[in-house]
Structure 1
Amino acid sequence: MSSAQTVLFVNTRPSPAEAEPTYAAARALGLDVVLLADHPVPVQHGHVTEHIAVDTFDLPALVEAARDAARRHDVAGVVCWGDRDVEGVAAVADALGLPGNTPEAAARARDKSRTRDALRRHCPDLTPAFARVSGEEDLEQALAEVPLPAVLKPVGASASKGIYSVRTADEARAAHRELRRYTDPANDPIFRRNAGRLLLEERIEGTEHSVEGIVRDGRLEAAAVTDKFVREPFFIEYLQTHPSALPAEIQERVLDAARRTVTALGLGTTAIHLELKVTPEGRPVVLELNSRTGGGYITTHLLRLARGYPFLEQVLTAVCGLGPTLPMPDAHLVAGSQQVISTADGKLTGLRGVDAALNVPGVLHFAQDAPRGTVIAQPPASFTSSVLGSVIARGPSRTGVTEALAEAAALVTAEVE
């Protein structure tokens, strides 16, 4: 058995530029990493003590793999970096007696309809009107209950997959047919436990934001608000800026909404990425809660660049029970990430303009999210493959950062075969 304490990683972030900081955070805390993953993951030598191949959608198999790791390592905690593994991590934490969510709380967080149920019971002001949808009869009943325009989406997807804006009943019926096909587990194993299960919810007008937070024993101990921007009609996220430009009073309402949502779901010890809208009247409305760290380079890059806050280290400190959570400091700079999105279909053979983008003042990084050889398709054929990469910038003003991001992103174009 290794003399160092070990944290179990259940899979990784999909982008190497987001995955590497998670390993670096573990190393900064003196933690060994054992990676439980269901597919080969390229990892730089030295980041991982052991790699165990296991079908992480198979919860009994995942728990047994974690038990096996615990026989050889001093396992202090378990963590995931994507929605698909939230329930798996809770099952492992429960089996090994580690900090985490209960399996019941993880299921409430993972299933958007169960999240809505919990909010309707405990804080109805935070949820829009909604209805579950499976078959055609469910859809017609939902259309009688939920005002249009509305949003139709899977209860268990991630990364904005399968989100449709519907303005009319006919648009809802067409989206329903597409989503019934799309949520077949043969298309994506993330739908193994909720194939064909959808949610129709009232569309909320307003600005979009997220709360990145650390929850310990049911209490939101550190959190901050990020501004987010999406492209319709499929709500593909393309820009994140931190800290939020919302007035301080509204940000406090947003953070209070996050605290109440954590309590309503009964979360234990976990990172959260809570997505919500703020109406023109200043009312927060929860879109969904993800019981893991946020993507879009928010938690791996933006929080540290804007605030100097080691968010990933603090998440690992919480899930491994290593000490108290550091408070969230004020931001001293603005940081942002903007996604470069291809409008062409085909096989990606390369990117042009990256060097020019990196020469834009304020731009620090370009992270390629789609590797060469990716087959690009536009939504609804694919909701993720058109995102080629992300430009990351920092500066003293929001205007300067957003202008730098826009200029740099416009310089990067895809070479498509």
Structure 2
Amino acid sequence: MRRILYVYVRGGAPLEYAFPRIAACGELHVLALAPLPAAAREAWLPSCTRIAEVPEPPRGEALVELIVEHAKALGADAVLTLSEFAVLAVAHAARRLGLAGAGPGILRARDKRLMREAWAAAEVPVPHFRRVDSEQELRSATAELTPPLLLKPAWGAGSVAQLVLHSPEDAAPAWSQIEDALHAGRRVGMDELYAPDTDRDRLVEEIAQGSTAGWYEEPGYGDYVSVEGIVARGVYHPLAVTAKLPTVPSFVEVASTSPCVLPEPLQRRIEEVSRRAVDALGLETCGTHTELKLLPDGQLVVIETAARFGGLLTIRQLEEVFGLDPIGLLVRELLGERVSYPATMPTAGTGRVGAAASLAVVPADAAGVPWRTGARWDPEAVDWLSLLSPGSTIEPVPAFALPPGRPVPAFDPSGGSRNWLGVYLLTAVDAATLRRDCNAVLDGLEAALHRIPPTRYPPTHGAH
């Protein structure tokens, strides 16, 4: 049987979903560079042939050497990760081993500065941006670019440490705040493992004034989308456009939804720009997750591309709604097997459910208003079904849950995914019902935790 080495660090799809699909393609061996989650252990552990834990892993080239040694020892036929923070090290290890992987283009797909420079050279539409390596450079950039601006770490993920600036006077406090946010992310294992000294690698870019006008026929969706895909031996295969609900200020993502309800011609336009963006990075074999901002009059700009699948439950949504198995497709491609991809990117669901969402609940409502009441996180006390429409379901993801009984932390606009109280798979009979139910949970959860009578929060079975 073929042997697969999976490099684990925090991030990516839940293990109880990912590991069985990897193990269906061969023996699954795990190199754990961070503590494996105890949550749902009984669901993912049987898929593992062997687990090697490294309590204090090295970084940089020493980490690549560690991965190479483990892969050689077990005779690995493929090596992969689903985490943003390990893709660079795994890609380098795969090249050293002569195995399929993302290739040298991985650096352009990891460093957001190189990414945007590659796109600008290829005339891929992107917001105006500047590299900033110091507070003074940030202040200068804020005077050159048109606000509002977004300051972000070049190696970040999960919307962590992203701050909005409106004037040069915002530079000093923003530089200090991003330092604090990066340190907080590092404490929970959300930092780059290969590239050294990345904390001061930052960029600032204009915030494209997004709009759903001319895109969606119905209100309630966010002004950005993502395209999930696979690059196979240098050829890009887009798998689906994923819609989003509006972010919670500032740019905290709360829900991705499938299927995207945009008309097919508009989805094809998004597909074409996504293809140009991915092709410009020069990737070889990997999953991809490309985010694009929708602008008025049918225009759009590319926000970023990752050389891995989207996080949370994004790829599970594709399986539920489109009947696709992105993890299985990628692993078989890495093993050198013949893989059949959809002849054209699907734009309508044909799977088990009508619509599905990854919903990240945070201590704020759908409009971004932070919770006003103190509470302890007690999801078992919530009557979840009372928040949903008939026929809808909601399923928690144990790996992403705040432990019950802990105080609900104050909402942090720059905290990104650190605000998550829990992540849920929500399914519904159709996309309109799904959108309504996502908002009902976000708007009603604070009251539900306090067992406030239903009349205090949105009705549970209203119009779509």
Which residue number in structure 2 is paired with residue 144 of structure 1?
143
Which residue number in structure 2 is paired with residue 225 of structure 1?
241
Is residue 2:2 matched to residue 1:5?
yes
Is residue 2:199 matched to residue 1:198?
no
* SS of structure 1 residue aligned to 2:284: coil
Q: Distance in 1 between matches of 2:305 and 2:208?
A: 16
Note the C-alpha offset of 1:56: 5.4
* Compared CA separation, residues 284 and 382, structure 1 to 2 (3 A): closer
Cα-to-partner distance string for 1:283-323 (whole Å, 9 max, x where unaligned)? 22111111111113111x21111111112211212222222
* SS of structure 1 residue aligned to 2:298: coil
The 8 Å contact of residues 291 and 303 in structure 2, kept in 1 or not, is answered as yes
Amino acid at match of 2:129: F
2:417 to 372, 384, 396: 384
Note the C-alpha offset of 1:92: 1.2
Which structure 2 residue ranges, 5 or more long, are not aligned? 211-222, 364-369, 451-464
Which residue number in structure 2 is paired with residue 91 of structure 1?
92
Note the C-alpha offset of 1:237: 0.6
Q: Distance in 2 between matches of 1:140 and 1:152?
A: 11
Q: Distance in 2 between matches of 1:358 and 1:14?
A: 31
Q: Distance in 2 between matches of 1:193 and 1:6?
A: 34
Which residue number in structure 2 is paired with residue 241 of structure 1?
257
Which residue number in structure 2 is paired with residue 278 of structure 1?
294
Identity, % of aligned positions: 27
Q: How many residues are treated as equivalent by the alignment?
A: 408
Note the C-alpha offset of 1:352: 4.2
Amino acid at match of 2:201: R
Q: Distance in 2 between matches of 1:195 and 1:258?
A: 28
2:392 to 351, 358, 362: 362
Is residue 2:379 matched to residue 1:351?
yes
Is residue 2:17 matched to residue 1:21?
yes
The correspondence of residues 6-405 of structure 1 with structure 2, limited to 5 A, is 6-11=3-8, 14=11, 18-29=14-25, 31-41=26-36, 42=38, 43-44=41-42, 45-54=45-54, 58-102=59-103, 104-123=104-123, 125-184=124-183, 190=191, 192-206=196-210, 207-299=223-315, 301-327=316-342, 328-329=345-346, 330-332=348-350, 333-342=354-363, 343=370, 350-357=378-385, 360=388, 361-368=391-398, 369-372=400-403, 376-380=409-413, 382-405=415-438
The 8 Å contact of residues 228 and 240 in structure 2, kept in 1 or not, is answered as yes
RMSD across aligned positions (CA): 2.7
* Compared CA separation, residues 212 and 381, structure 1 to 2 (3 A): closer
The 8 Å contact of residues 354 and 366 in structure 1, kept in 2 or not, is answered as no
* Compared CA separation, residues 279 and 321, structure 1 to 2 (3 A): same
**TM-score for both structures, normalised by structure 1:** 0.88
The 8 Å contact of residues 304 and 310 in structure 1, kept in 2 or not, is answered as yes
* Compared CA separation, residues 359 and 203, structure 1 to 2 (3 A): closer
Q: Distance in 1 between matches of 2:114 and 2:298?
A: 25
The 8 Å contact of residues 231 and 284 in structure 2, kept in 1 or not, is answered as yes
Amino acid at match of 1:336: A
The 8 Å contact of residues 253 and 416 in structure 2, kept in 1 or not, is answered as no
* Compared CA separation, residues 372 and 415, structure 1 to 2 (3 A): farther
The 8 Å contact of residues 357 and 411 in structure 1, kept in 2 or not, is answered as no
Cα-to-partner distance string for 1:338-371 (whole Å, 9 max, x where unaligned)? 2221256989553244453388431142324223
Q: Distance in 1 between matches of 2:186 and 2:67?
A: 27
* Compared CA separation, residues 101 and 391, structure 1 to 2 (3 A): closer
* Compared CA separation, residues 25 and 88, structure 1 to 2 (3 A): same
The 8 Å contact of residues 351 and 412 in structure 1, kept in 2 or not, is answered as no
* Compared CA separation, residues 331 and 56, structure 1 to 2 (3 A): farther
Note the C-alpha offset of 1:186: 6.3
The 8 Å contact of residues 213 and 271 in structure 1, kept in 2 or not, is answered as yes
**Which is richer in strand?**
1
Q: Distance in 1 between matches of 2:105 and 2:61?
A: 18
Which structure 1 residue ranges, 5 or more long, are not aligned? none
Q: Distance in 2 between matches of 1:115 and 1:359?
A: 41
Note the C-alpha offset of 1:181: 3.9
* SS of structure 2 residue aligned to 1:236: coil
Note the C-alpha offset of 1:68: 3.0
Cα-to-partner distance string for 1:22-71 (whole Å, 9 max, x where unaligned)? 11102222x11111222221444322222223455624333333333334
Greater displacement, 168-177 / 198-207: 168-177
* SS of structure 1 residue aligned to 2:397: strand
Which residue number in structure 1 is paired with residue 440 of structure 2?
407
Note the C-alpha offset of 1:408: 4.2
The 8 Å contact of residues 131 and 145 in structure 1, kept in 2 or not, is answered as no
Q: Distance in 2 between matches of 1:112 and 1:226?
A: 21
* Compared CA separation, residues 378 and 393, structure 1 to 2 (3 A): closer
The 8 Å contact of residues 357 and 409 in structure 1, kept in 2 or not, is answered as no
The 8 Å contact of residues 147 and 166 in structure 2, kept in 1 or not, is answered as yes
Amino acid at match of 1:296: L
* SS of structure 1 residue aligned to 2:288: strand
* SS of structure 2 residue aligned to 1:137: helix
